[in-house]
A and B are shown apart, each in its own frame.
Chain A
Amino acid sequence: MKERIIGRVKRVNGPVLIVKDIKDAMMMEMVNVGEQRLVGEVVKLYDGLATVQVYEDATALKPGDNVYGTGMSLSVELGPGLIGTIYDGIQRPLEHLMEASGAFMARGLSFDAIDHAKLWHFTPSLKIGDTVKAGSILGVVAETNMIEHRIMVSPHITEGVIASIAGEGGYTVEQTIATIARGDGTQVEVSMMQRWPIRVGRPVADRRPLSVPLITGLRVIDTLFPIAKGGTVAIPGGFGTGKTMTQHSIAQWCDADLIVYIGCGERGNEMTDVLREFPQLIDPRTGHSLMERTILIANTSNMPVSAREASIYTGITMAEYYRDQGYHVAIMADSTSRWAEALRELSGRMEEMPAEEGFPAYLPTRIAQFYERAGLMQNLNGTTGSVSVIGAVSPPGGDFSEPVTQHTRRFVRCFWGLDRQLASARHYPAISWLDSYSEYLVDVANWWQERSDGSWHESRERIMDLLQREVRLQQIVKLVGPDALPDTQNFILEICSLFKAAFLQQNAFDEVDRYCPPEKQVKMLNAILAYWQRGSEAIAKGVPMVKIRRLKAVQEMARMRLSVPNDELEQIDRIQLRLERSIDQIGGIYEH
């Protein structure tokens, strides 16, 4: 096939090229530049010129180099074989890159994203004569032990009748597994692989209201600031406050069916850590390795900045594809600030007018577009699936008033603000209970009420109220010392400090503590509130607070997150009972 030259390089300014002699280049067309065939994308067309963004290091590109068109938009391959793979920002499998160029990444290499030669065992679920429409599930492939891959009719094919369909057996993703006869008499061949442009959301039938929480196993999140399946959340925090750890924990233990983890402009070793750890971790719900439900994208901070810009779209497109199959997908983007900075750098090189802090004026639009692709959807094929987005934000200087944090806040409904002081005191996760909020509380309240004998909502309100009162009391203590407060108020400080140590803190490295099931969260919260209740009553009777806080059962309560295994929750009831009894006992002495 003759290659189509769309133009020649006129200027090279880092990853941004100006290309001249443009005739038929298309907007957003994927191109190859120079004899090294570096991958790029047309981002602007004007006056016979094009601006092209290259996804690889531009060294040695020069004026006059040919630019070859590919005739299609920057797209990803979708089909069985995605899960368990680690990709760069433009869906090149890093394992293959390593085989081809060793430990350091060479340029100009291209690979299929999924193995085109591998045989997958396909089982048809439709037969000849069945009518199909966009998204219809033709059959299934067991992609991993955990994920049944549902082979769908492409969204481009709106309607038709199955003219032929493959029998059960092994097929590659390139082979035709069905032919569909369309109303206009034409026939289309369908394989197990689709291509989809990354910057375009995949169509759905309808958006559904959210109602089920995405359980993360992190108490401060699930109990205080829950996120719903299909929801969006931002985790802003200065360096070292725990964004990555929080996202790793969620990727490991949350109850989504599939995880897409995007390392967007962050550290190489963090991705190595995931690659090393995930295959060994066992999903408590299915008993299989976590890698069997995970897709990784690693476009680390030292990899080309334009591929970093593309990486989050690559990730969310794959997430949408599994959503279309009826799965609940959670995507973590660490960090969206690096993505925004990539936008800023590219925009600067294109000499666009900057708005705030050098960011382009379209920054908020791009952020909104990204988060809008999340949601709980009624898919074209009638299944329900969701994409939840958990985006880390890295504000310069840890200052939340900067543009990326501020704009992200406008488009997400849940906010887990990380606090530098908590992190310094090694209170992890350092999610501030004062700055954070969740707008999903109402949406998920029913779910929790059903699992807590109707206590969740009120318990949560009570503890939040105590935490607010603590702030005011602490201000007084700072001036006069805790001894100046009456025991009734000192007890609030005591309860809050216990709640922080025993409930809010959670050790990601502890075998038991790293995942806390909802039932345990409910019991722990209620036990602490029972302590508050009984303790307050006793203090009202004149029992000195020191007597109460020294009780052995209080110490036990402080350790229950670590000491009570997740399948022996009745231990918490027993601790609570012992505590209530001990308080009653002391109370008895003071009553007379």
Chain B
Amino acid sequence: MNTKAQTILAQGDRRLLSGREYRGASRIDGPLVYMRNTHPIGYGELVEVVASDGSTRFGQVLDTSDEVVVVQVFEGTDGLSMPDTRMRFMGEPLSLAVSEEMLGRVMDGLGKSRDGSTAIAGSVERDVNGEPMNPTAREYPRDFIQTGISVIDGMTTLIQGQKLPIFSGNGLDHNHLAAQIARQAKVLGGDSEFCIVFAAMGVKYDVARFFIDSFEETGVLDNVALFLSLADDPSIERTITPKTALTLAEHLAFDKGKHVLVIMTDMTNYCESLREIATMRGEIPSRKGYPGYLYSNLAELYERSGKIGGRPGSITQLPILTMPNDDISHPVPDLTGYITEGQIVFDRSMQARGIYPPINCLPSLSRLMKDGIGEGMTRSDHPHLANQLFASYSHVKDVQNLASVIGEEELTTLDQQYLEFGTFFENRFVKQGFDEERSIDETLDLAWEALSKLPAEELQRLTDEEIAEHYGK
């Protein structure tokens, strides 16, 4: 028999065999089910797992060989028994039927209806794993998004198509900030209609409720698709939730031309679920027990953002993660920072001082702001102004340290001016209300007001013309 005939036969076999059911697992370990004596199963194939009571769950092939197939079950393995578990191998990877109808709906991590109303009928089937975007097809993002929040717009500007995570901590106000951004985000003078894809991984119900209420209040709920895999849902489901959400986001952005804002919370829970599976499989851990491929795995999510040349839509990602122990060098924030285009970093001491949003601008960064601010985009003085704020505020930190040693009275006049600048900066520029929306002009003027607390000679990052125009005005 020649190879061609063999191939055709093999493909025919496959079609016949896909969907064939096997009964009896050889091992069940956490979210993993092992099955022997199957037909050849493809890597990454979708599996329907049927429990003894007839209920079905979905799974995916993690490892396949002549002897045994390892299936990861997204809804968890609770209630499965070795002899009675049945499996149908579907012959193709996990896919999601996407459609615009999903806006306004509440779904679980796999995209199944969760709001009790009708089942969701998608129009196009998409592999949830997506495919990498060709770098030559990308369009470099450069459209300024005005969030109305001074410290973000002024110093860590968000750009349409950017992935900009919030590094927060337990109990900090990241949800308020994300909701505020979702409410206020607009592209000046452009097509500013955003739709929102929201993915919740392992957060409590009240967090999801908070977002739903906030969307409802502003009347945008019809423009939001929610994928909820909450704290009491199986931990394994969290590993698929962001993929499902991003699959819809890609459809909305690149097939339907919409501007999509994706909020994903909490990435730390997602990573923990991955760690669970890795440990279960006895994989060699790297830092803090997380698998060595965590970087690539996160990149496969975060890189699903941006713009494509010649197409109208965009995906802007706002992932939220809580830093365990407020430690920014923990693998989750660390690897995230290595992938995303900057980060917004929360500071517990600022929240304690009553500053909302409690953003510490020094470790925060927006890598895409360089091309999205300045003449014709925000204002011509913006780039230098932002630079100057960073430089001056970082000196404030030094002065504060010195003051705590030698006492404020012992400081030089100049350093006392720095302290004054710092206070104004934190309490007037950074601090603002949950509903306060400042235009970019208001933000920049406020920044000048702060810098005017310092002598003009100290403002070395600004040009003489800029100082003449704005200083002390």
Contacts and interface: CB of A to CB of B under 8 A. Distances in A.
B362 A424 contact: yes
Contact of A272 (B139, B284, B405): B139
B37 interface: no
Contacts of A480: 406
Nearest to B70: A13
A239 B391 contact: no
A162 B155 CA distance: 66
Nearest to A303: B132
Nearest to B328: A397
Interface of A is mostly: mixed
B300 to A, nearest CB: 5
A269 B134 contact: no
Interface residues of B, number: 80
A58 B303 contact: no
B169 interface: no
B300 A62 contact: no
Contact of A275 (B40, B41, B136, B402): B136
Nearest to A558: B460
A266 to B, nearest CB: 9
A273 B142 CA distance: 11
Interface in B1-56: 3, 6-7, 10-11, 40-45
Contacts of A478: 401-402, 405
B135 A298 contact: yes
Contacts of B202: none
Contacts of A62: 40-43, 45, 64
Contacts of A271: 135, 138
A338 interface: yes
Chain A: number of interface residues, binned into ranges: 35 or more
Interface stretch (B229-237, B289-297, B439-447): B289-297
Contacts of A555: 457
Contact of B93 (A12, A60, A86, A301): A60
Interface string B261-303: 0000000000000000000000111110000110110011001
B292 A345 contact: yes
Interface string A248-292: 000000000000000101011101110110000000000000000
Interface stretch (A99-107, A438-446, A458-466): A99-107
B324 interface: no
Contact of A95 (B136, B292, B308, B342): B136
Given A267-B341, A354-B284, A272 B292 contact: no
B300 A302 contact: yes
Contacts of B308: 103
Given A298-B135, A301-B300, 5 more contacts: A64-B40, A263-B135, A358-B286, A424-B394, A479-B405
21 contacts: A12-B65, A20-B66, A60-B44, A62-B43, A63-B65, A94-B134, A104-B134, A105-B134, A268-B303, A268-B306, A269-B141, A269-B341, A272-B138, A272-B139, A272-B140, A345-B293, A358-B285, A396-B329, A478-B401, A483-B410, A509-B383
Interface of A: 3, 5, 10-14, 18, 20, 35, 57-66, 86, 94-95, 97-98, 101-106, 238-240, 263, 265, 267-269, 271-273, 275-276, 298, 300-303, 305, 338, 341, 344-345, 348, 354, 357-358, 394, 396-399, 424-426, 477-483, 501, 509, 555, 558-559
